[in-house]
Each structure stands twice: as structure tokens, then as C-alpha cells.
């Protein structure tokens, strides 16, 4: 017999089906709640709302588990490449060597962007934030591929739209960094793999040969894999809700970039680095004072806390080790790393942080690695977006494949009740 949940309202019992996921997570299907009872559920910030069922990413915040399509994030970060993970998220299985070769080849064939898109950069004032530029460029892509406005018409069209987006993203991200510096952009080179090509376009120069450093290529693969998906977070939910109106893929992803930009979400990686610099320069390294101010709600510790991880963020664990390794291999001695470690230790032994289950999140150490690699701080959230893109795209594809209902939450209205209209000359 299928499980049911009983709700008693106004002295009457109502039954609702219980749905169970493959990891035994349970949800009460309240789809008919309003029709049957006149009530809606109220869950500000969607803390307890399952907005969809999804077969892509499994996360258990209490146990610190993160898996893509059933594979542990620790294994993927250690043993696979970003393109393998892209394939896994998109198509559901790890690729064979031949499938991966074909997939990488497809990506290589679509890395160039239309020259008119390069001209779009000219309209941004110097110093424009890279995330604003990324949003604009991604939504502009829809103008260059009008057939992508409804890619659902055929599976081939859908796949081409996805491949184009994944292939052009590193080119656009690298151009943003180059334009920020006032340097000429570099065009993609087919001799490089996906990640090396991005590093070449970002750190290469027209004036000299460039060979990507294997240490940086390896670290970049890891960082991108760790960011690749995270089930129904703020930006992914945004992509899904925009996609649910049948908006095109490029517009939906641009909306995800907007959501990611916020400092409570992906924008936190930029904030972490600026916070560490502030602690070094203004607070004179006084970490205890910073923790005390955070407890007094005078400041937020960026890179701490997470909506779903209430034990530890497995990505942060991997990144802490990676950060030590990358800085050592690159011979970078960054005093900000010592401040970060001191801050983490001080916070982790403080009852305020212990009681609230606040642990370092993925953004806490990623910025230090990006900085060691040579990325300017305002680019950090763009790098997050580069990593998250395959997750967003896979979630969008899953949603459209299921032809999910349009996302349309309800509300509890708290404004004025009906009142008579007052003519303008009678208003006081
Ligand atoms: N520093 C200090 N106090 C904090 C922090 C923090 N970073 N995060 C949460 N708290 C406190 C809150 O003030 C609250 O205290 P209270 O119980 O006394 O009111 C309590 O911990 C619970 O916090 P909420 O804000 O209710 O937790 P929520 O799940 O809504 O928010 C969030 C999670 C947004 C990530 C929050 O922890 C935060 O703002 N952190 C800093 C920004 C950050 O690093 N964001 C990146 C998250 S990871 C990602 O998106 C990629």
C-alpha cells in the first residue's frame, strides 16, 4: 500500500500521497492541497519545498554527501576531467573514451563567437563588472542563433544549442578578462583541450607563446568539477523557473547568471577575498574581533554557512587541500591563506558557529586558488558560472524533457483589503 500523510484541518482529515526518491528521501505531494482544502503551504525561502523531482544530483547536507548521477564528488574531483563531468551531467552516464573524444571534438568545433558579439564588449564602460557582461553576452547569443529560440523542435537542434553554449562559454569568459585589462582578445586554438583553451585565451598573450601550466590545468579541472552542479540552489532554481515558461536556453542561463551574482550565492567568492584583504589591511589581522563582530551581526563571514550543508560542505574539504597544494606547487606564499585558516579555526571552535552549524562553504577557499592562478577578484564569480554551466544546462534539459508545469508559486497576501478609489484632487 502506498504511503499517505494525513493532515487535519478545521476538524477534517485530508490524505496526501508520499513520494520517495531513490535515496529514500520523502516528500508529501501537496499538489491538490488548495483544491481540496483552500489552503496553500507557506515556506518563505523554500526551505522545505521540493520544487521538482530530479535524477541529476544527490545531496545530503546532514551527512555532507554530494553526488552527480550517483558518482561521489570526491571520486569525480580526483579521477575525472571537467568535460567527462559535463557529459555525465548532460547525458546521464560517464562517457566511453570514444564518446568523450566525439563530445570534446563537438565542443572544439563551436568555440568561436560571432564577430558582432565581440563588438558587444565595446558598449560596456571600463570597469563594468564581469558578471553583468557575462549575463548580457549569454542572452545576446540567442540573437545569433534564432533557431535556438525553440530548440525542442528536434533532439539534434537541442543538442547543437547546448553544445554551442558550452563551447562558447570559455571564449566569452576569457574575453571578459582580456577586455577588463584592455588587452586584445585571443581566439580559441583547436590544439588545446577545453580547460587549457580557456587558460590560453585568458592568460596567453598575442606577443608570445603560451603553454598552460599542468598544475593550473589540473586545479582548474577540479574547481570546475566541484562547481558543476548542486541540485536546486538559487541560480539553478532560477534557470528552471525561467525555463518552465519555455524561455530559450540562452535566456534561461543568463537569468541563472544573474542569480549567481548575488553575494549570498556565487558572489560570495569575490566577497571572501575582499573580506580577507579587509581583515589584513583594516582589522590588522585581528581575527577574534572579526568573529566577535560576526556574532554581533555587525558583519557576515563570507564563505561561511550554507542553506543545506549543516555538517560540512564536501567541496570545501576538497578545496582546502587543493588550495594548500596549488599554492605550494606554484610557489605562492599568500598571507591571506594564513588569515583564512586562522579565521576558520576561530569560527569552528566558537559556540555561535557550532550551534548554528556554520561551516566553510565552497567559496571559502576557491578565491585563494583563483588569486594564486592570476585571476582578478571580480572574475571569481564568472569562474563559478563557467563551472556551473553544465549543471544549469542539464537541469534545463531535464525540465523541458519532462515538459514540467510552469513554475508559479502562490503567496499569502498581506496588503490592504478592498478600499474605495480616491480621486487625485481629494487625496491628502
Ligand atoms: N556569518 C555570520 N552569521 C551567519 C552566517 C555567516 N556567514 N551565515 C548564517 N549566519 C547566522 C544567521 O545570522 C542566523 O543567525 P540567527 O539564528 O541568530 O538568526 C543563522 O546563522 C542561520 O542563518 P540563515 O541566514 O537563516 O541561514 P540560511 O540557510 O538562510 O542562509 C547563507 C545561508 C545565505 C549561505 C548564509 O549562511 C550566508 O549569507 N553566508 C554568507 C554568504 C556565503 O558565503 N554564501 C555562499 C553560500 S554557498 C553558495 O551559494 C555557492
265 is catalytic: no
306 is catalytic: yes
Residue 387: DSSP 8-state: H
Residue in 230, 265, 306, 313 annotated catalytic? 306
User: What's the 307 CA to ligand 1 centre distance in angstroms?
Assistant: 7
* 319/337 Cα distance (integer angstroms): 12
Partnered with residue 4 across adjacent β-strands are: 17
**288, three cell numbers:** 577574534
Nearest CA-CA partner of 93 in 69, 124, 76, 115: 69
Residues of the chain with pLDDT under 50: none
pLDDT in tens, 285-297: 999 999 999 999 9
Using a 6 Å CB cutoff, which residues line ligand 1? 264-266, 268, 294, 300-307, 356, 358, 361-363
User: What's the 377 CA to ligand 1 centre distance in angstroms?
Assistant: 22
169 close to 117: Cβ distance less than 8 angstroms: no
pLDDT of 105 reads 98
pTM: 0.95
**380, three cell numbers:** 571569481
3-state secondary structure of 16: strand
Going by alpha carbons, the residue nearest to atom 46 of ligand 1 is 265
pLDDT of 1 reads 63
User: What's the 220 CA to ligand 1 centre distance in angstroms?
Assistant: 27
pLDDT in tens, 370-397: 999 999 999 999 999 999 999 999 999 9
pLDDT in tens, 321-336: 999 889 999 999 999 9
210 close to 203: Cβ distance less than 8 angstroms: yes
pLDDT in tens, 1-55: 689 999 999 999 999 999 999 999 999 999 999 999 999 999 999 999 999 999 9
* 23/70 Cα distance (integer angstroms): 10
* 86/178 Cα distance (integer angstroms): 25
Amino acid at each position: 500500500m502506498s504511503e499517505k500523510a494525513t493532515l487535519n484541518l478545521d476538524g477534517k482529515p485530508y490524505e496526501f500521497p508520499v513520494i520517495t526518491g531513490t535515496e529514500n528521501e520523502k516528500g508529501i505531494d501537496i499538489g491538490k492541497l488548495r483544491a481540496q482544502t483552500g489552503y496553500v503551504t507557506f515556506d518563505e525561502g523554500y526551505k522545505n519545498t521540493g520544487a521538482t523531482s530530479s535524477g541529476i544530483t544527490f545531496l545530503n547536507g546532514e551527512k555532507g554527501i554530494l553526488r552527480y548521477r550517483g558518482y561521489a564528488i570526491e571520486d569525480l574531483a580526483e579521477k575525472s576531467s571537467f568535460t567527462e563531468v559535463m557529459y555525465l551531467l548532460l547525458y546521464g552516464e560517464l562517457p566511453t573514451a570514444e564518446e568523450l573524444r566525439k563530445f570534446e571534438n563537438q565542443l572544439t568545433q563551436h568555440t568561436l563567437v560571432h564577430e558582432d558579439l565581440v563588438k558587444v564588449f565595446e558598449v560596456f564602460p571600463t570597469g563594468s563588472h564581469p558578471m553583468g557582461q557575462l549575463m548580457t553576452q549569454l542572452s545576446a547569443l540567442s540573437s545569433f542563433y534564432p533557431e535556438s529560440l525553440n530548440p525542442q523542435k528536434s533532439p539534434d537542434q537541442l543538442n547543437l544549442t547546448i553544445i554551442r553554449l558550452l563551447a562558447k562559454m570559455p571564449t566569452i569568459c576569457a574575453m571578459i578578462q582580456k577586455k577588463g585589462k584592455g588587452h586584445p582578445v585571443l581566439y580559441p586554438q583547436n590544439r588545446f583541450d577545453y580547460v587549457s583553451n580557456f587558460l590560453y585565451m585568458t592568460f596567453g598573450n598575442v606577443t608570445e607563446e603560451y603553454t598552460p601550466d599542468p598544475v593550473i590545468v589540473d586545479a582548474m579541472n577540479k574547481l570546475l568539477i566541484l562547481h558543476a552542479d548542486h541540485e536546486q540552489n538559487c541560480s539553478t532554481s532560477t534557470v528552471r523557473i525561467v525555463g518552465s515558461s519555455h524561455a530559450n536556453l540562452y535566456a534561461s542561463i543568463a537569468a541563472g547568471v544573474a542569480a549567481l551574482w548575488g553575494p549570498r550565492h556565487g558572489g560570495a567568492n569575490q566577497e571572501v577575498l575582499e573580506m580577507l584583504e579587509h581583515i589584513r589591511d583594516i582589522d590588522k589581522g585581528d581575527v577574534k574581533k572579526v568573529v566577535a563582530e560576526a556574532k554581533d551581526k555587525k558583519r557576515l563571514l563570507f564563505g561561511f554557512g550554507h542553506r543545506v550543508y549543516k555538517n560540512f560542505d564536501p567541496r570545501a574539504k576538497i578545496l582546502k587541500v587543493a588550495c594548500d597544494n596549488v599554492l605550494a606547487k606554484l610557489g605562492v606564499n599568500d598571507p591571506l591563506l594564513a588569515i583564512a585558516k586562522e579565521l576558520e579555526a576561530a569560527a569552528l571552535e566558537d559556540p555561535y558557529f557550532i550551534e548554528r552549524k556554520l561551516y566553510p562553504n565552497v567559496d571559502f577557499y576557491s578565491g585563494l586558488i583563483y588569486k594564486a592562478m592570476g585571476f582578478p577578484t571580480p572574475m571569481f564569480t564568472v569562474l563559478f558560472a563557467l563551472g556551473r554551466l553544465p549543471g544549469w544546462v542539464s537541469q534545463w534539459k531535464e525540465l523541458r524533457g519532462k515538459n514540467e508545469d510552469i513554475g508559479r508559486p502562490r503567496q499569502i497576501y498581506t496588503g490592504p483589503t478592498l478600499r474605495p478609489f480616491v480621486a487625485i484632487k481629494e487625496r491628502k
